[in-house]
Amino acid sequence: MNGIQVVADQNEWRGGFEERVLAGYRAAGCSEPLARALLERAVEGIGGWTVAGDGTGWVAVGVTQDNGATVGRIHDLTAPRGRAWAERWCAEHGAQRVEVRLTGGVAGAFADYPVRGQNRIRVAAERPQLPPGLTVRRLTEEEYPGWYAAEEAAYIADIVRAGALTPEEAKEKSDQDYARYLPQGYLTPGQAFYVMEAGGQAVGTGWVGHGFLPGVTFGFSLEVYEEHRGKGYGRAAMAVGEWATRQGGDEAMMLNVFGGNEAAMSLYDSAGFAVLDEYRSIVL
């Protein structure tokens, strides 16, 4: 085969792609049901992807609309000279930026793409213990509006800091995400909200979603208030997340961290949270 050429039949490529994705999730410690559930998410819309090859490897690309912008996505890349072809294809199809999802967080050919976010996971301790002096109680319904306003503002700021979206796009994404995960607000089934207290005062909050994926609680937010940071409460918040995971009947906790938040990434590294997926992007 001379050069990279689009192929009409995806079958030869698809089997190998799915096995590589599954292998990455298994290496991160996922159970087989969880690895396959994550694979289903990874291949969503695969029938609309464009697949090309040159006899030595493959490229899979696509475009989508994301918060009003045309975004190119490089779904797979094993062809040695495939990146330039993929970026050119995305540009020719109107993309304003190009995104990649890297299973296991191995940057490879995309080391120069800035990190925009990571999904991480860890199996929770069977009997997690809360740190001495820290207590946890449920956030009350009366406290929920103030908590929500602060959470939304922090979420938008995190997205903008990661460099992925403009403030206007970040606000739109925030509105969509909160409508998706909290359609009934405080009373949304499967969602739990906590307040962490020490020395008689609140030091942070937590929001988790049970059954997010098979056996997985998602830690949407484990927030330590700014005035209490640097006192060891960040690691304590991880313990609270594990405790909440087991309280909800799940085995593992999953969370997201935005690019640019090096302190959180370092904390998650030290706490043993493996990278499931890493998202990187560049502006064309």
Cβ-defined contacts of 171-176 (< 8 Å, 24+): 172/67, 172/68, 173/67
Domain boundaries, the chain: 5-113, 123-274
Helices 11-27, 32-42: axis angle to 10 degrees equals: 130
Pick the CATH number of 123-274 from 3.40.50.1010, 3.40.630.30, 2.20.70.10, 3.40.980.10: 3.40.630.30
- The 10s digit of each residue's pLDDT in 57-87 is 999 999 998 877 899 999 999 999 899 999 9
Residue 229: predicted pLDDT: 85
Report d(CA 225, CA 222) in Å as an integer: 10
Going through 104-200 in order, the beta strands assigned E by DSSP cover 115-123, 134-138, 191-198
Question: Model confidence at 1, in pLDDT bands (50, 70, 90)?
Answer: very low
- pLDDT averaged over every residue in the chain: 92
- The 10s digit of each residue's pLDDT in 118-168 is 999 999 988 888 888 889 999 999 999 999 999 999 999 988 988 878 899
More confident residue, 183 or 69: 183
Q: Which CATH superfamily is domain 5-113 in?
A: Gcn5-related N-acetyltransferase (GNAT) (3.40.630.30)
Q: Alpha carbon 225 to chain centroid distance?
A: 22
